Structure 1
Amino acid sequence: MQEIQIPNGYFQLWQMYLIERGLNGLQLDFMHNQREQLEHILSLPIDTQSSYTFFLELVQRTQQHLDCPQLIFDMARYIRPEHFGLLGYMASRSHSVAEAIHYVMRFSRLVIDGSAATTLQVYQSGDEIHLSWPCIHEKYALIHEMTFACIVALARQIFNFNQPLLKSIHFAHAAQNSIYHYQKFYNAEVLFKQSEYQLVLSLESLKLPSQQADPSLIHLLTKQAEEAIAAKPNEISLAQYIHTWAADYLRTENKIPKIEQIAAELYLSTRTLQRQLDQLKTSFKKIIEIERMKRCEQLLLQNMSLTDLAMHLGYSDQSALTRAYKAYTGHTLLQRKQQIKLFRQVRNDK
């Protein structure tokens, strides 16, 4: 599996944070052995990408040596559109939150890329909009925390985006910090050990306008983003494409797609598609199971019965669905339904 690549803007953000504290990241003793690599990354254009693993080490060392467990939140407060490169500029010049989300879905590979990276999924439940990502592996917890904090901080700058428009934040991993720091930064409900990562917004937030909207510049930036995406290796996006295709199929057909269907759409033989997915360290079966669980979460929010859930997701019966959900999330479906019910009661009481 190709290592995830993240924007060099994150490294620049780290350096900016230290400068504000009167420090030079390149001169810190604990970065002595990595100084050459760090110097190289900081010399690159801000919209290029570098190793997530190195950034993870960088942040962990900084947290430890500066005794700053809330480092992610402190860094995120300095976020600027340029730290997200082209996509950041597109978000800042969008007409509304809805338009910015559209660009994020379309060009997310310009920010975080690699065969383990997954595309944003958006769906509506009542008066809420859910922006969700599946949990691939707990080793990516930090990049989810970093990206969520930066997205929310940047949205507040561009759209005056705040509670109650931001309703809740869902993390698939356990809390990496004191709950106090999460609640103070997001000023919204923050949940951990969920089945997937989510930003939950109010439906009305999609209409929030940007004070810097610029349709002419957006047109130019879109052309640049399309060219940048086209220059990336196609094989990296294969799994992402199948994820999106499978999610759409499950939503519209209410049954499980077959690998022969997507192979035909891609003009590949079934065996060739299986081989290509195997090279990416995944499989059609794994992708389908992830998308089934994501769709399960969406339908649970619609208060669908477990029997109907099993039918819509292509399981033989309710028991098969229950076993699959427990294996994927570590929680039972009954626990999840009770949790959703409790959250709704609490929200209605506010």
Structure 2
Amino acid sequence: MNNIRAQRMLQFLQYVDSETGSCATGDEALKDLNLSRGALEAPGCDVDPEQEARLVDAVCDVLRDNLFATSAGLAFRDTFTLTAYIAKYSQTLRDAIENSSRFFSVLDPSFAIGLQISSNSAFFTLECLDQSMGRHHRFLEYLLFAALGRMRTVTQTDFFPLEIRFKHDAKNIASKVTRLAGFPVVFGAENYEMILSRSALELLVPTYDPNLREHLKEYGERLKQETSVSTPGLRGRIEGILSDNLPGRIVPAEEMAANLGMSRRTFARRLKEKDLSFREIVDDLRSDLARTYLKDGFSIAEISFYLDYGDQAAFSTAFKRWTGLSPSDYRARNLSG
């Protein structure tokens, strides 16, 4: 069974090829990431989570289509990973989610999935264990809509969830995403989650096979015992704290050190050991978010506030340093098609 990230990337590239009519867009994006289709198809391929996220971002940028990640996620169907097979041989959608969630983080330590059930509905949750993934808005949209695509494939039913929620804001594309999905999609929520009806949980899986399911679960338990628990890196923890305090405030270095249980001097030393600086991490996060917000239709004044700049001039100066363009020029060159 192949690497789950490589599988998702190959599925995404297949959709890109079918929608654009050629391999050119996908190959160009892969080249920028120092990857190839052959490498992704090779047994034992180990894809960095940042590479997968940036592939989705890059394709959306090339196509100038901020809805493309949503479309690709909704079109997501089958994969050949442990969790996909466990879901395929479960009895109901509820069983499929609960069985898969137990082993998902073993295959992809950047994320965890879960299921919380209330009296009237259920919450399928997606948690960023690697908090640096939170900056990749298009990728997170792709993942959550892909989860719905997988649920529809497993149950062989094109059911609709009650709602999908994202933590990030999206402004101009929010209503377009809702129209494309065909059900309510909320941005600026507290969690990344999909709200399901209780009846949806009881949808049967036509390929149910209890013997195969138990065999795969046993294999998953062995794999879980053999796999060391991955903890978020320092950079990811810093970006997570920074993101949690946005919009409107960038946590200063001294407070960040305290949040991480370090002295200011230890914090600086730990960063230096990794050839990083706090300013570099803040700049990278601000730069990524600024580009996304501009493409999503936020005003320069809104972005300046969101990213904790004293005024629009300070933000514009920083943005030109990052990109060589003013925010207005960058937006004009990257309008959604």
Q: Which sections of structure 1, spanning at least 5 residues, go unmatched?
A: 238-273, 282-350
Decide whether the 8 Å contact of 2:10 with 2:37 is kept in 1. Answer: no
For the 8 Å contact 1:8–1:44, the answer to whether it is kept is: no
Structure 1 partner of 2:56? 59
Does the CA-based 8 Å contact 1:70-1:177 persist in structure 2?
A: no
- Checking the alignment, whether the CA contact within 8 Å between 1:134 and 1:195 is kept in structure 2 is no
- Equivalent residue in structure 1 for 2:86, among 87, 90, 95: 90
Q: Deviations over 1:194-229 (max 9, x none)?
A: 111121111122211011111122122222322332
Q: What does residue range 180-199 of structure 1 map to in structure 2 within 5 Å?
A: 180-199=175-194
Q: Deviations over 1:111-150 (max 9, x none)?
A: 4214xx3x33433333111223456453143342122111
- Return the alpha-carbon distance in structure 2 between the equivalents of residues 14 and 229 of structure 1: 27
Q: What number of residue pairs does the alignment pair up?
A: 231
Aligned to 1:72: 69
Q: Which of 121, 128, 139 lines up with 2:121 in the alignment?
A: 128
Distance 1:63 1:235 in 2: 30
**Contact 2:126–2:192 (Cα < 8 Å) also in 1:** yes
Q: Which moved more, 1:128-137 or 1:97-106?
A: 128-137
Q: Secondary structure at the match of 1:19?
A: helix
Query: Does the Cα contact within 8 Å between 2:10 and 2:40 map onto a contact in 1?
Result: yes
Partner in structure 1 of residue 225 of structure 2: 230
Structure-2 change in CA distance of 1:151 and 1:30 (3 Å)? closer
> Normalising by structure 1, what TM-score?
0.57
Aligned-residue CA RMSD (Å): 3.3
The one-letter amino acid paired with 2:51 is F
The superposition leaves residues 226-268 of structure 1 with CA deviations (integer Å, 9 ceiling, x where unpaired) of 233233223549xxxxxxxxxxxxxxxxxxxxxxxxxxxxxxx
Q: Confirm or deny that 1:146 pairs with 2:153.
A: no
Deviation at 1:106, TM superposition (A): 0.5
Return the alpha-carbon distance in structure 2 between the equivalents of residues 41 and 89 of structure 1: 23
* 3-state SS, counterpart of residue 50 of structure 1: coil
Q: Secondary structure at the match of 1:178?
A: helix
Q: What secondary structure does 2:193 align onto?
A: strand
Separation of aligned partners in 1, 2:29 and 2:6 = 20
Q: Structure 1 residue aligned with 2:199, among 189, 204, 210?
A: 204
User: Secondary structure of the equivalent of 1:233?
Assistant: coil
| Match of residue 37, structure 1, among 35, 38, 43 | 35
- 1:103 and 2:102 matched: no
Shift of 1:102: 1.1
Distance 1:27 1:53, change over 3 A: closer
Taking structure 2 as the reference length, the TM-score comes to: 0.59
AA of the residue aligned to 2:101 = M
Q: Does 1:218 align with 2:216?
A: no
The alignment partner of 1:82 has SS state of coil
- 1:80, distance to aligned residue in structure 2 (A): 2.8
Tell me the CA shift for residue 188 of structure 1.
1.9
Kept after mapping to 2: 8 A contact 1:81/1:89: no
CA contact (8 A) 1:121 1:131 kept: yes
Pairwise CA distance, 1:177: 6.7
1:16 aligned residue: 14
CA distance in 2: counterparts of 1:156 and 1:179, whole angstroms? 23
Name the CA distance, whole Å, in 1 between partners of 2:177 and 2:26. 30
Match of residue 78 from structure 2:
81
How many Å separate the matches in 2 of 1:203 and 1:86? 26
